[in-house]
Amino acid sequence: MSAGMEFVLLTFMGLPLLMVLLNNLLKKEIAQKICLSLGIIAGIVQMAAAVFVFASLKAAGQTEADFSQFWDLGVGASRFSVDFFSLLVLFCIGMVITAGFLTAGKTLGDKKFNFTNLAMILLLGMNGIALVTDLFSLYVFLEITGVASFVMISLNKEGDGIEGAFKYLVMSAIATVFILGGLAFLFMQSGSLQYGDVAAALSDWQYAEQPALLIAGFVLVLVGFSIKSGVMPFHGWLPDAYQSAPAAVSVILGGIVTKMAGVYALLRLTADIFVNVPVFNQILMLLAIVSIVLGAVAAITQTDFKRILAYSSISQIGYILLGASCGSAVGLIGAMLHFFNHATFKTTLFVNSAAVEIATGTTEIEKLGGLQEKMPVTGVSSILAFLSTAGIPPLAGFWSKLLIIIAAWQTGNVFIAGLALFASIFTAAYFLRLQRCVFFGPAVEGLEDTKEVTGGVCLSSLALSAITVGFGLLFPALLLFLQGQGLI
């Protein structure tokens, strides 16, 4: 591994810490002015670093690289590791953090300084989740991410924020109890919590001394991460947390945080650890399909812009998990690409909701209407994002959903694949309702002099829409590349 790459790998953990230090060492008046640019720099550098590491790995012909931050890479020592999937995820994190900071300029008032500190700690936690290779470090970074997001949701100290944050906190604490309980049972069997060691110990788990304890371990870990990712029977906290958070925070939260804390961890578990445990995949598939259908149905009746997006997130997270639970390469790749696409279009939609909130002061769709002419950029980018979510062909969301449904079909569960396909219609239904209420039709009274939001918000919706369209158009090339690699 070249020295340059080693240095770049250190930025993933080092840069957020550096930004927190810088933010707090500067004079308060200066920090108030430049804190948001620190966050934007961190986000952009992270995207660049992810692309650079990807290019270096590709050039060297490797698929993953191990590194450590402050300690030596000894035998059995805890280490960080990047592979292509974690690089994709690190890129997503950088993208969403940048969009969040661009949105923060107009929405946070005098809370920018605290927001920057917390968002950088959040970035640290999420990067940690993407890089770790053992289950206990995963828990530690989950808690860092969680604690930072609880505080960020209640940043304004308003009633709603406290309610959302407290619900999230309690559910997350219960999830932690489940996850750690499961880890304790797995630890009894394997004697280590490194991904590789646990996977090796589980390769013949049916013949273990106490299979009951191991099954308890699987179930507890699955339930814990399902709560963290907001899959349908465990979703109670998610819409409340998204709706009550300040606009910029809900961009980051809805765009990436719950996906990192829950879905990424579940993807890692299915891909790296529970490979030989088909029961795990079957339960996950059931949870995924329930989440897809019920999430979409619940979104139809909501009356708040952000709440519709929250239920839509639940439904889309179901698709990601459905792909992961198929146990095939196609499904996993579909899940990873849908992860990226979901981060793009859901962030776009949350940025749009922030723009609507800045321009009109509300996110209740009954009070809105006819904003298309007043806010052309927001209107068009939200239409693109919603078409991508519903899986309309040339856009990015179509391709990843297609891969996921093909993978589900190949497992033989035709009914589940059909149901997933059918739920796309519901996706289109609730988004059409949203578009019609908010953007189409005549302007409602009191909103005649609404103006398009300028600056960072507009810039981030344009950039994210460009990614959605561009990625969709380039997708066949990506599929050919993956086929060339023998992956699908």
Partner 1 sequence: MNVLSIAILTAALLLIVTGLYMLVRTYNMIRIIIAVEVAMKAITLLLAYAGWLNGQTALSQAFVVTIIVMEVVVAVVAAGLAISSFRKNGDVDIRRLNKLNG
Footprint on this chain of partner 1 (rule: CB under 8 A) = 136, 139-140, 143, 146-147, 150-151, 154, 157, 159-160, 162-167, 169-170, 173-174, 176-177, 180-181, 183-185, 187-192, 210, 239-240, 243-244, 301-303, 307
- The minimum distance between CB 185 and partner 1, in angstroms, equals 7
CB within 8 Å of 143: residues ≥ 6 apart? 125, 176
Closer CB to partner 1, residue 3 or residue 212?
212
Q: Is 386 within 8 Å of 431 (Cβ atoms)?
A: yes
Task: Compute the Cα dihedral for 305, 316, 234, 267 and give only its sign.
Answer: negative
- Asked if 437 contacts 368 with a C-beta cutoff of 8 angstroms, the reply is yes
Name the residue nearer to partner 1 (CB basis): 191 or 394. 191
Specify the residue, 193 or 467, whose C-beta has the smaller distance to partner 1: 193
Nearer to partner 1, 163 or 452 (CB): 163
Collapsing DSSP states into helix, strand and coil, what is residue 488?
coil
- Of residues 173, 171, 170, 213, the one with CA closest to residue 190: 213
Q: CB 373 → partner 1: shortest distance, Å? A: 30
DSSP letter string, 13-24: HHHHHHHHHHHH
Q: CB of 394 within 8 A of CB of 296?
A: no
Q: How far is the CB of 304 from partner 1 (least distance, A)?
A: 8
User: For residues 162 and 290, which CB has a smaller minimum distance to partner 1 in the complex?
Assistant: 162
Alpha helices in 83-134 (DSSP H): 84-107, 112-131
* Residue 395 CB, nearest approach to partner 1 (Å): 29
**What is the nearest approach in angstroms of partner 1 to the Cβ of residue 22?**
23
CA separation for the pair 181, 231 (Å, rounded): 20
Nearest distance from residue 364's CB to partner 1, in Å? 12
Q: Residue 83's beta-bridge partner residues?
A: 64
Measured in degrees and rounded to the nearest 5, phi and psi for residue 81 equal: -150, 140
Residue 28 or 157 with smaller CB distance to partner 1: 157
Q: What does the buried/exposed string (b/e) look like for 318-336 if buried means 16 or more CB atoms within 10 Å of the residue's CB?
A: bbbbbbbbbbeebbbbbbb
Q: How far is the CB of 350 from partner 1 (least distance, A)?
A: 17
Pick 151 or 405: Cβ nearer partner 1? 151
Q: What's the min distance (Å) between Cβ of 343 and partner 1?
A: 25
Closest to partner 1 by CB, 169 vs 417, is 169
* Residue 184: burial class (beta carbons within 10 Å; 0-12, 13-18, 19+): middle
Question: Please, which residue, 142 or 417, has the CB nearer to partner 1?
Answer: 142
The phi, psi pair for 483, rounded to 5°, reads -65, -40
CB of 233 to partner 1, least distance (A): 16
> Smallest distance, Å, CB 277 to partner 1?
19
Longest Cα pair distance anywhere in the chain, in angstroms? 72
Residue 306, amino acid: K
Q: How far is the CB of 315 from partner 1 (least distance, A)?
A: 16
Of the candidates 436, 340, 326, the residue with the CA atom closest to the CA atom of residue 397: 340
Q: How far is the CB of 135 from partner 1 (least distance, A)?
A: 10
Q: In Å, how far are 169, 201, 303, 310, 342 from 242, measured between CA atoms?
A: 13, 39, 14, 6, 16
**In the complex with partner 1, which residue's Cβ is closer, 145 or 411?**
145
Per-residue CA distances from 416 to 402, 426, 434 (Å): 14, 15, 27
Closest to partner 1 by CB, 94 or 230: 230
Q: Please, which residues have CB within 8 angstroms of residue 170's CB and are 6 or more apart in sequence?
A: 237
Burial of 143 (0-12, 13-18, 19+ CB in 10 A): middle
Q: In this complex, which beta carbon is closest to partner 1, that of residue 260 or of residue 463? A: 260
